[in-house]
Structure 1
């Protein structure tokens, strides 16, 4: 009788909630169990109207992050910016991280780092005679740039520390795959963890240990009058907060390591993946590749490197990067949001603590918004005069609202500088007999990469 009464009570409560809330359309879930794929309520936003309503018009309601095993694992229980819950601490960390990033947007710091790494990578890449994987060089280029930016370390191209971190990042992505079973069955974390989960935990521990070591070494040589890199910028923020106990408590070692973790690895993955797609689309559209080169030659020539100040004269190249980010949506489904209160979107009720995904792939492939959606067309972003037009509303690789990617200004500048360097120095072609664009592979949930491919390069003559 007790079991029957409990079952009836649960069913009554379940039906009451269904009647009380006008939930978005979707399959019914089983009380206590939920859907087969997720134990918590999930809403996916697939078109511009509801995305703008949630992320911009009601940004506060949708500003947090859900608590789930993977998010807690990657952020040391919510201490980071990417997976951290919306709070005063999170807002303070985002402000500190953003201020540190702006350090690289002044003067020539960022471009000098990029140009130096490009020179060394290109010298090696130009020696390739047979078709080869350009992805390997892009990965090296991006991680060495980040090493310099975060740790002021100009390392040998085969430096073991750099190679190990790159391997860790690659293995985490491949091992994580489409998620961990522990996210679907949280109780497993207390009973028995899968081997995949244990491996991801081990890799993350190694990565965080490395970042902690770098932070400690910076602490020993820190000089507030000589800010060398991003890590020093974070230490400077901590020093400024020494006489403010409330702020100082939010900049302990574990918090600083987590901010470094977010900037370093998020910047590594998204940048290298975008450049990978960029080369693919340039190979598939040789006329556009030549038009980029002609623009670069006219604006810069061949005897100097691209600079951030060249950006207004590299509109077509930037448009090609933007179209790459639309068609090669490296983050098809963004990091999940969570509602902090009962709210609504698109005319439907969304309860507090609902997990909300933004379908960036759907936004970037909406045929009702984009003309010839399957066509690579950089002219979408240009005026008739060939200048950059207003950013299309449906173009949202960096998300929007309170959770917009804080690294967007740096990311867009570094992508343009690296892409311009690549096309200034090389012509990229498919190997003989290859006539199609590589297909897509999804090594991890929500991530889309080109299938493994090889290229042939011709070094542009210097004049």
Structure 2
């Protein structure tokens, strides 16, 4: 027993000395970005373990500059807090920063990085993304998306119209968006109270809380094989349940797939793969196996679900607190759309409504820190060295609240996005990056923007939305996981509009 204890101490001491030497050599070799002092191995625990990590890092940027170095356990992180450093890294040196670091939880959920969002930068990743992009273009042709959105919206707006008093909008938006993505990805139109959809919502909420908050195993991955936490065990079970649902949906589509018939996004993926095979690209069979395709569907489904429902929740939250903006949106929708239901052809004329949506995305900050990048070679930002293998994060909260870029950044003001004629500015503000930039720009951006705008326009066309009588507006929020801001719980009242 004494020998075992001494061996353990020797190993730990050796590791500590080795890491210290590595740290000193690295500091001498590179001109690293500045950052606060920390305890070796432990790192800046109070920062990386905080749900408000994005706010804490933004405060550090005021002291150390826009490029801040932190330690998350033994890992080095570099966080970019202004638009200039982000554009230099992600656009000017985009290939250098296109990698993804390995996190134990991400590797587990993506079955070894076989998705697009978390997979490392490589030739196979570029090919995989190209096929997925082609599938999205297939899907967005014609009026397929528009019809799906309108059918789903009508179903839930009718249900909302039955509410006679205050109700929690979040419960409706969760159902609305999950049904929407069920139709987009799986081609399924399910009943309003469908138990499978409700169970999937619960799974995703549970998984978001576990995944979003991060894991001890992500900071110290080697410990998951020595001491497995209860939280990690729950995560493994939830991940497998979710992936089994997606595998089942994909298998059903493969068995009923007909070339040339496009029912939904899964079919679009199968069509894109078939076209690549027909062009004689033998690499398709090797690279794009069923696991890769299931993981692509997972990316589109969960990115679409969470981005859309969180954004819509914030949009309604702001519309109830600023009824004057809601009224202007409704005036525009009535003028542009008339007595009909809003459609995709109206999008280019719904400038004020889109500006309110864009401002909701700026001020709400659905994701404080983006998905981590990793340098695939030695590089530089702002005159500082960033060694190969460094984790690099974009602080979107800092970008969207930067007083150098936004006048009164804490105020909700859709006019930021409009020109003097009330039209959307042809070039959006540089520091507005909800979908990121560069090689890792969000794959689903072309799907998400029109989808969310059409859903918001349908909602405001049908209802006047307000807070319950006697409830004063506020702008409070709560944190869900790693830098994710969501509106504080609130209820709304809806009133059918005429015309």
Match of 2:391 in 1: 355
What's the offset of the Cα at 1:240?
Answer: 2.8
**Deviation string, structure 1 residues 35-54 (Cα, Å, up to 9, x no partner):** 54432110000001101100
In structure 2, do the counterparts of structure 1 residues 89 and 434 end up closer, same or farther at CA, with 3 Å as the change threshold? same
- Residues 1:246 and 2:283 are matched in the alignment: yes
TM-score, reference length from structure 2: 0.89
Question: Given that residues 334 and 446 in structure 1 are in contact (C-alpha distance below 8 angstroms), is that contact kept between their aligned partners in structure 2?
Answer: no
The offset of 1:3, in angstroms, is 10
Q: Which residue of 2 aligns with 1:70?
A: 105
Tell me: CA distance 1:123–1:2, structure 2 relative to 1, closer, same or farther (3 Å).
closer
Match of 1:382 in 2: 418
Is residue 148–residue 183 contact of structure 2 (8 Å, CA) maintained in 1? yes
Name the residue aligned to 2:430: 393
1:175/1:196 contact within 8 Å kept: yes
**C-alpha contact (below 8 Å) 1:280/1:437 kept by paired residues:** no
Tell me how far apart the structure 2 counterparts of residues 68 and 161 of structure 1 sit (CA, whole Å): 30
Aligned residue number for residue 362 of structure 2: 326
Aligned alpha-carbon RMSD (Å): 1.9
- Cross-structure match for 1:420: 457
Q: 2:26 aligns with which of 17, 26, 33?
A: 17
Matches within 5 A, 1:109-258: 109-242=144-277, 243-258=280-295
Q: 1-side partners of 2:410 and 2:495: how far apart?
A: 29
- The reply on whether 1:277 has 2:314 as its aligned counterpart is yes
| 1:59 match | 94
2:60 matched to which residue of 1? none
Aligned residues: 461
Q: State the match for 1:92 in structure 2.
A: 127
Distance 2:162 2:172 in 1: 12
User: Is the Cα contact below 8 Å between 1:121 and 1:141 reproduced in 2?
Assistant: yes
Q: What is the alpha-carbon distance in structure 2 between the residues aligned to residue 400 and residue 168 of structure 1?
A: 30
Tell me the SS of whatever aligns to 1:55: helix
Q: Counterparts of 2:394 and 2:464 in 1: how far apart (Å)?
A: 36
| CA distances 1:308-332 after superposition (whole Å, capped 9, x unpaired) | 1111210000000000000011011
Instruction: Check the 8 A contact 1:66/1:353 in 2, yes or no.
Output: yes
Pick closer, same or farther for the CA change 1:6–1:444 going to 2, 3 Å. Answer: closer
After superposition, give the CA deviation of every residue in 1:212-268 in whole Å (9 maximum; x if it has no partner): 111111111110121111101111223234443212111111111100100001110
SS of 1:335 mapped into structure 2:
coil
Distance 1:137 1:123 in 2: 11
Secondary structure at 1:187 match in 2: helix
Report if aligned partners of 2:250, 2:294 keep a CA contact under 8 Å in 1: yes
Matched residue of 2:389: which SS? coil
Q: Are the aligned partners of 1:330 and 1:449 in contact in 2 as well (CA < 8 Å)?
A: yes
Of the structure 1 ranges 283-292 and 245-254, higher mean CA displacement relative to structure 2 is found in 245-254
Cα displacement string for residues 327-373 of structure 1 (whole angstroms, at most 9, x for unaligned residues): 01101110000000111101111111101110000000001110111
Q: Distance between the aligned counterparts of 1:176 and 1:254, measured in 2?
A: 21
Consecutive unaligned residues of structure 1, counting only runs of 5 or more, are none
Equivalent position SS for 1:224: coil
> Could you tell me how far 1:28 is from its partner in structure 2?
4.2
2:84 corresponds, among 34, 42, 49, to 49
Deviation string 1:400-452 (CA, Å, 9 cap, x unpaired) is: 00000011111110011000000000111111221122411111102111111
Which residue is 1:263 aligned to? 300
Separation (CA, whole Å) in 2 of partners of 1:206 and 1:7: 39
Q: Which moved more, 1:273-282 or 1:122-131?
A: 122-131
| Change over 3 Å in CA distance of 1:405–1:6 after alignment to 2 | closer
Aligned to 1:406: 443
Q: 1:191 to 1:385 in 2, by over 3 A?
A: same
Does the aligned pair in 2 maintain the 1:176–1:196 contact within 8 Å?
no
> What CA deviation, in whole Å up to 9, does each residue of 1:369-409 have, x standing for no partner?
10111111111111111111020000000000000001111
